[in-house]
Structure 1
């Protein structure tokens, strides 16, 4: 049965939910839902396979978490069990809950249930959606418009991926994995990109595009779709109101003009439906983040937030953890962390760094998933060739088992630059200690971020 037709048992619950249990509670989307229920005085507990800084935060907020598959930890009086599709079907707790007639639902079911009665701003796309959804949620919070935020990254302004508001508005990062976003009913939707990804789910690039077209069709009557100008099959995206946005293409309804860099910040104006709005400042790196800001500003303008408040909020935006996040930025060393795990994201990241800094750029990349590496090895190689030096880590498998013949070497062999190699994490640290790179970015969606503090300490010791 397709995801969009899946019956949601939560919608049948008429009484209060008092107790919920999460399988995979440490995931970025799952933790936002855990925080949502906690904010509503619900008893929240759950399992994850390992302790992380995020799970430690959840525990400090009063959520009970354990790290071994233990069915004894699951209370019989739980109202709903919530799991992430990233959890293996062989998980003992998931099997136990299904066999013992618990209400077991996916994360997307919960978002559908939460947003049944709210005005929903849903941001989808194969890349850019985390930053744009966080920008929009920040804009609504900073301007006092108000919103509930369910984000796929940790906002640097608020050190959280969730916040609540009395305003009946929800900002949601719409996840395309497992077709989850087809359960949402946006009043206002943003589509940032429709590039091929998650081919283990969709099979073909065209099926990915079809899913985004279906997502656009879920915009409510008289609602609005804001999509990036120039998308392949973008002419098949339809809503009663439809705006397009772009970094600089004047054929779009909303785009940036008069861009300049002053003291490391981007200054620009916006053309919004032929109206010039002057004086925006963005204090986070990456040229692609100007385009992300254009999309967020288009949303804020559409819902009639005052322009001066929008400008102040954009200037106050500190970014998203693991999105162009500086760990070092001084005369001796620049160390940047980024979640980029798709070829287009890597290209945008490298171009953004080049726009701000000169000199030799070292990119350390950890491929995420065997299937994605196999499907996109040539595209990854092409993107990484824009760097001066590339160090690849072994593939981070996440939910997948190894695939025969698939390793980081698939990317390495397709790269054209000569300064490239594959290193283990341990050898990477030794190499950095010996070579002392000045300009370095670590990127990937796996656990590469665990190396940032050790690398920072190595580089600081050389300053």
Structure 2
């Protein structure tokens, strides 16, 4: 890529984000010193520092390391999650640095390679990570920018200088995916989300149409059966559908659970391929697997390779991540932060642990999303959980909206079933609650509580066994 030759250093404003950190690893692996700013220290920034990158947590211009202060040698990449008034970002722009959005850089990468781009308001992280895993274990190899930490690779970036295939998430936020140039695109869902950006569901769908229109001439679009097919595609773009039920081009058939994991055959335009086995639980992941198998096959993988690889996929941190699984306590952590995601996640919980009492801890993410979906959140939580714990709202990039908080959701739920608990009070609250199946959900900083909840869980099991 041209940028690899033009600049010696790359500075990331917002380096701790999951997408930004993957891109930082890409440049670092290519031999270019990478560093950047982030608001808070996190496991991601700790890992980047351990890999030799310079990370600062002070937004002042003076905090920018000397190595990144030469505009002729330094490329600056930022995420739209960082406000335009950020002191460092403003200084770089005012002083003539080359400043690009993350999506613009990804667009350049996808233009130069065989690019597999996965879009959707939910499901894209699992589908893209599984696709990358399958291709990594096939003769084609892969490069990948992932939206989560793969359990198989313990990272969100896979680099392979011998492969011309790149897999990445196509992010609908801020219409970033309009910068990409897919060879193959897949759309998992088009639910109402990011209404602070789009305004209406119709505009969300237009956003996905714009993404599909970016597919290169002669490329392919795979779309979940039942979704509207975008119009005005590039010349000779082929369209295929996938599903786990009904009539689609790629469909899971003969699906059955064996010792808690699903086995299935794959109906394709080439015929039915038998013998696929999942390595992670949940019927929803069968649908994700159908999507990933389709993408991998269209990228040149053989079915025999895919049958061998699929059972070895271990999932992604914070995507239906089963951290404790005993007869006394089950604990799952999940990134679900939209009503439809929560509905699918809780259905999987009920399918795998039928008859057990499920307690959910949910941290609302964004004022605007909470305002727009408060009643929908309340409905899916009330239907899927026996007990509900709400944490205070995580604002992320947003300023407060008067009257919007976790209470906005709780007012639609029976107060005897729902409690709002401060983060620092959560562990003592769990001691009194004595849950059976416990799940944490949310896209904010709830992940910081996961290690403490695991420690509590193991103590809880041990103490229970000693009584």
Cα deviations across residues 32-71 of structure 1 (Å, max 9, x unaligned)?
0000000110011111111111111111111011111131
The equivalent residue for 1:430 is 428
Report the alpha carbon displacement of residue 414 of structure 1 after superposing the two structures with TM.
Answer: 2.0
Q: Tell me if 1:16 matches 2:6.
A: yes
Cα deviations across residues 244-264 of structure 1 (Å, max 9, x unaligned)?
011212x21111122222222
Q: Tell me if 1:103 matches 2:98.
A: yes
Q: Tell me if 1:65 matches 2:55.
A: yes
The equivalent residue for 1:245 is 242
The equivalent residue for 2:321 is 325
The equivalent residue for 1:84 is 79
Q: Tell me if 1:216 matches 2:212.
A: yes
1:135 alignment partner, one of 113, 124, 130: 130
1:297-446 counterparts in 2 under 5 A? 297-358=293-354, 359-385=356-382, 386-415=384-413, 418-446=416-444
Q: For the residues of structure 2 that align with 1:101 and 1:182, how far apart are their CA atoms? A: 26
The equivalent residue for 2:38 is 48
| Closer/same/farther in 2, CA of residues 162 and 235 from structure 1, 3 Å limit | closer
1:227-246 counterparts in 2 under 5 A? 227-231=223-227, 233-234=228-229, 236=231, 238=233, 240-246=237-243
Q: Which runs of 4+ in 1 moved over 6 A?
A: none
The equivalent residue for 1:4 is none
Report the alpha carbon displacement of residue 15 of structure 1 after superposing the two structures with TM.
Answer: 4.4
Q: For the residues of structure 1 that align with 2:202 and 2:413, how far apart are their CA atoms? A: 27
| Closer/same/farther in 2, CA of residues 134 and 286 from structure 1, 3 Å limit | same
Q: For the residues of structure 2 that align with 1:70 and 1:416, how far apart are their CA atoms? A: 47
The equivalent residue for 1:6 is none
Contact 2:127–2:292 (CA under 8 A) maintained in structure 1 = yes
Report the alpha carbon displacement of residue 14 of structure 1 after superposing the two structures with TM.
Answer: 9.1
Q: For the residues of structure 2 that align with 1:67 and 1:296, how far apart are their CA atoms? A: 37
Contact 1:436–1:459 (CA under 8 A) maintained in structure 2 = no
Say how many residue pairs are matched. 451
The equivalent residue for 1:206 is 202
Q: Tell me if 1:282 matches 2:278.
A: yes
The equivalent residue for 1:260 is 256
The equivalent residue for 2:117 is 122
Q: For the residues of structure 2 that align with 1:196 and 1:291, how far apart are their CA atoms? A: 20
| Closer/same/farther in 2, CA of residues 21 and 436 from structure 1, 3 Å limit | same
SS in 2 for 1:160: coil
Report the alpha carbon displacement of residue 202 of structure 1 after superposing the two structures with TM.
Answer: 1.0
Q: For the residues of structure 2 that align with 1:417 and 1:296, how far apart are their CA atoms? A: 42
Q: For the residues of structure 2 that align with 1:60 and 1:372, how far apart are their CA atoms? A: 35
Q: For the residues of structure 1 that align with 2:424 and 2:111, how far apart are their CA atoms? A: 48
Unmatched runs of 5 consecutive residues or more in structure 1? 1-9
Contact 1:287–1:348 (CA under 8 A) maintained in structure 2 = no
Report the alpha carbon displacement of residue 427 of structure 1 after superposing the two structures with TM.
Answer: 2.4
1:273 alignment partner, one of 264, 269, 272: 269
Q: For the residues of structure 2 that align with 1:214 and 1:70, how far apart are their CA atoms? A: 37
Contact 1:18–1:42 (CA under 8 A) maintained in structure 2 = yes
SS in 2 for 1:155: coil
Report the alpha carbon displacement of residue 273 of structure 1 after superposing the two structures with TM.
Answer: 2.4
Q: For the residues of structure 1 that align with 2:189 and 2:130, how far apart are their CA atoms? A: 17
The equivalent residue for 1:33 is 23
SS in 2 for 1:134: helix
Contact 1:285–1:353 (CA under 8 A) maintained in structure 2 = no
Contact 1:132–1:292 (CA under 8 A) maintained in structure 2 = yes
Task: Give the TM-score of the pair, scaled to structure 2.
Answer: 0.93
SS in 1 for 2:6: coil
